[in-house]
Amino acid sequence: MQRLRAAAQALGAAPEAGAPRREVWRDRRCALYRYTPVRAALLRTPLLICYALVNRPTMLDLQPGHSLIRNLLEAGVDVYLLDWGYPRSGDRFEQLDDYVNGWLRECVGQVSQGAGREAADPRPRDVPVNLLGVCQGGALSLCYASLHPAQVRNLITMVTPVDFQTPNDLLSRWAQDVDLDLLTSLGNVPGTLLNAVYLSLMPFRLTQQKYLSLARLLEDEQALAHFLRMERWILDSPDQAACAFGQFVKWFYQENRLQRGTLSLGDRPVDLRAIRCPVFNVYGLKDHLVPPDASRALRGLTTSVDYQELAVDAGHIGLYVSRAAQTEVAPAITRWLAARDG
Amino acid sequence: MTNTSDRPASELESELHRRYTQAFEQYANLTRAFMDQWQKAGGAVPGPAPAAPDLAKTLSDWFQRSVLGADPSQAWARFAGLAGGSVAGAGTGAASSGGLGSGATGSGALGGGFPGGWGSAAAGTAPASGATPLEQTLQQQEQIGRRLFELAAQCQRLQTQLASHWAAVGQRAAQNFLGGLQGTAGWPGAAAGSDPTQWTQKLYGAWIETAEKAYQEAARGAEYVQLLASLTNAANAFKAEQNRLVELWAKFFDHPTRSELDALQREMRELREELRELRRPR
């Protein structure tokens, strides 16, 4: 127990293990970061990552050796990240439209203009960007690419639900009869509450067995630090802006509007058929949060003639942090983008 | 440049400590039960309940405690300020009041912030018309208090139903687990002189598999889904009534109310949206 305490304290005092980056734009709590390139850009088109609202993007860059972002940087991709920050109680009336047509749109514009790049950088500016959406951020990216197709050169979706009512989707089952108007009238939805719901999807493994494995890690400093970083990420779920959260659960989970083509944002219909750019859909075969079928549903919903899928033998998180994913996922994304960078 | 959580490291430390300790205690109880049973049965595999009632009960209780510790319905109840704990134990026949019982009545359900006596003193005494502002407020408090009482009772009923539901699922899981061991000649991996920490770990792993499977089936079932949604909605309704109560007194004392703040925040959001559109290049 003392070792655990010491390791947790050391982690708290340790500098962040993320790759170096610089804030290039901010609007209140939302920030756009550009990661410091580690080699000359291989691709002309920059990549903007749009993460989910319900967790922190730390997972994409947990530590060296377990980092999608570092792997992309090392492959010569110019990486930007949209960080949604932590909503406060005054943000409770923010809507999904604010996220997609507000912040995401601003960030696409900034990336397109080459925010944070050196003046001497010869790559063109004011060009469409590559957009990579993760989980819920993938759903938001699909909305964006539908509403603003000319601004997205290539679209990558990772562990992204599209059909929110597949038979194996336990979260969806639980969400169907929740009174969302009532819930969101109470203010922002606490991240701790959402955490409890995620853990209860597999309670025995996630609240019992996992912690016993910790006993075996106590002798291994690196493994213990990795475990603690994961735990910190798990416990760090931001509170959710009430209105946007209610819209997401109602429109996506309860009414399955994205898949059915009945979603509108800011009075504009979100029609996935408007997506004509190349699409790369990456999902985990062992994903218990977003079952493979929920992601695979994207096939045939866009009008892209260049649609590809990558099924990874991993879970929702393993797809980013597992050792196998390090050699499979980022290289596949880089190859796919490189072939479409002309 | 920041990539840090706004939650302090000490929070992570204490949360991990709690989770680790709980999981380890649960594990220790279970392995002790495995070993006791093994010694009693002379190394043979016990049959399913009732042939091995002690072990079946231990497994079933473990299942229920673990589920209720992680059950989202508990999280919703805590969110609403309803439950301080679980209703573990209800499955054995005695429905515990958990964190609801006493708090559901009187001023306890109102968060202790308002004297319950005010409401009861006002009942039947304040005239329906021509009442003073204080009398009107007390009347409304009385109505809200009654609604809170009903909702708390509803939540408790639902929690008890959930606990019974998980108790039944846990019993089935225990029987399935012990039944599954019947095909083996002795305790798997256990033999005289073998290291108990190794074979009990294997048994524990097998039990986790069985328990998770039983849970997954039950959690997808219509009965649980309906119970969970009902409890979530009732807990949220409880919290909404608490908010009404605070609003009522805030108005009475002419303090800023939640609805006034909401109206301001809505306006702020709309102004920001307009500003965003104005700034956008045309």
Q: Dump pLDDT digits (tens) for B154-206.
A: 999 999 999 999 999 999 999 888 888 776 766 777 666 677 777 888 889 99
| Residue B29, pLDDT score | 86
Give the A:B interface size as CB pairs under 8 Å. 159
| Residue A80, pLDDT score | 98
Instruction: Give the residue on A whose Cα is nearest the Cα of B231.
Output: A178
Active site residue A277: no
| Residue B122, pLDDT score | 42
**Residue A106 with chain B: CB contacts under 8 Å:** 276
Instruction: Give the residue on B whose Cα is nearest the Cα of A23.
Output: B1
What percentage of chain A has pLDDT greater than the value 70? 96
Beta-carbon separation of A1 and B243 below 8 A: no
pLDDT at B278 over 50: yes
Mean pLDDT computed over A177-201: 94
Beta-carbon separation of B268 and A90 below 8 A: yes
Where does the pLDDT of residue B95 fall: very low under 50, low under 70, confident under 90, or very high at 90 and above?
very low
Mean pLDDT computed over A19-28: 96
Mean pLDDT computed over A92-104: 97
**Residue B177 with chain A: CB contacts under 8 Å:** none
Q: Dump pLDDT digits (tens) for B36-87.
A: 877 777 766 666 555 567 888 888 888 888 887 777 777 777 778 775 544 4
Mean pLDDT computed over B100-105: 39
Q: Dump pLDDT digits (tens) for A164-175.
A: 999 999 999 999
Instruction: Give dist(CA A71, CA A65) in Å, integer.
Output: 9
The closest CB to that of A16, out of B3, B15, B215, belongs to B3
The closest CB to that of B240, out of A58, A182, A196, belongs to A182
pTM, entire model: 0.87
| Residue B180, pLDDT score | 81
Mean pLDDT computed over A122-138: 95
As a three-state string, the secondary structure of chain B is CCCCCCCCHHHHHHHHHHHHHHHHHHHHHHHHHHHHHHHHCCCCCCCCCCCCHHHHHHHHHHHHHHHHHHCHHHHHHHHCCCCCCCCCCHHHCCCCCCCCCHHHCHHHHHCCCCCHHHHHHHCCCCCCCCCCHHHHHHHHHHHHHHHHHHHHHHHHHHHHHHHHHHHHHHHHHHHHHHHHHCCCCCCCCCCCCCCHHHHHHHHHHHHHHHHHHHHHHHHHCHHHHHHHHHHHHHHHHHHHHHHHHHHHHHHHCCCCCHHHHHHHHHHHHHHHHHHHHHHCCC
Catalytic residue among A30, A107, A135, A143: A135
Instruction: Give the residue on B whose Cα is nearest the Cα of A24.
Output: B1
Query: Hey, of A148, A204, A228, A234, which one would you mutate to test binding to chain B, going by the most B CBs within 10 A of its CB?
Result: A204
What percentage of chain A has pLDDT greater than the value 90? 80
| Residue A11, pLDDT score | 67
Instruction: Give dist(CA A106, CA B213) in Å, integer.
Output: 45
| Residue B7, pLDDT score | 61
More confident residue, A291 or B82: A291
Q: How far is A61 from chain B, CA to nearest CA, in Å?
A: 10
Q: Lowest-confidence range among A64-73, B195-204, B246-255? A: B195-204
pLDDT at B5 over 70: no
Where does the pLDDT of residue A278 fall: very low under 50, low under 70, confident under 90, or very high at 90 and above?
very high
**Residue A173 with chain B: CB contacts under 8 Å:** 220, 225
Q: Tell me the DSSP string of A305-327.
A: S-EEEEEESS-TTHHHHSHHHHH
Where does the pLDDT of residue B109 fall: very low under 50, low under 70, confident under 90, or very high at 90 and above?
very low
The closest CB to that of B7, out of A173, A185, A236, belongs to A236
Q: Dump pLDDT digits (tens) for A306-321.
A: 999 999 999 999 999 9
Query: Hey, of B5, B15, B18, which one would you mutate to test binding to chain A, going by the most A CBs within 10 A of its CB?
Result: B5
Where does the pLDDT of residue A324 fall: very low under 50, low under 70, confident under 90, or very high at 90 and above?
confident
**Residue A182 with chain B: CB contacts under 8 Å:** 233, 236-237, 240
Mean pLDDT computed over A26-55: 96
Contact A59, A11 (CB under 8 A): no
Could you give the ipTM of this predicted complex?
A: 0.90
| Residue B214, pLDDT score | 94
Instruction: Give dist(CA B192, CA B198) in Å, integer.
Output: 13
| Residue A15, pLDDT score | 62
| Residue B121, pLDDT score | 42
What percentage of chain B has pLDDT greater than the value 70? 74
Beta-carbon separation of A208 and B27 below 8 A: yes
pLDDT at A341 over 50: yes
| Residue B258, pLDDT score | 92
pLDDT at A79 over 80: yes
pLDDT at A105 over 70: yes
Instruction: Give dist(CA B37, CA B34) in Å, integer.
Output: 5
Sheet holding A79-83, edge to edge: A21-27, A30-35, A79-83, A47-50, A129-134, A152-158, A279-284, A307-312
Q: Dump pLDDT digits (tens) for B115-137.
A: 444 444 444 444 556 789 899 99
Instruction: Give the residue on A whose Cα is nearest the Cα of B232.
Output: A178
The letter for the amino acid at B188 is: P
Query: Hey, of A28, A56, A200, A235, which one would you mutate to test binding to chain B, going by the most B CBs within 10 A of its CB?
Result: A200
Mean pLDDT of the residues in chain B: 78
**Residue A268 with chain B: CB contacts under 8 Å:** none
Instruction: Give the residue on B whose Cα is nearest the Cα of A62.
Output: B3
Beta-carbon separation of A90 and B265 below 8 A: yes
Token pair, residue A165, equals 């009512």
| Residue B111, pLDDT score | 42
Four-way CATH pick for A16-185+240-338: 3.40.630.10, 3.40.50.720, 3.40.50.300, 3.40.50.1820:
3.40.50.1820
Contact A270, A146 (CB under 8 A): yes
Mean pLDDT of the residues in chain A: 94
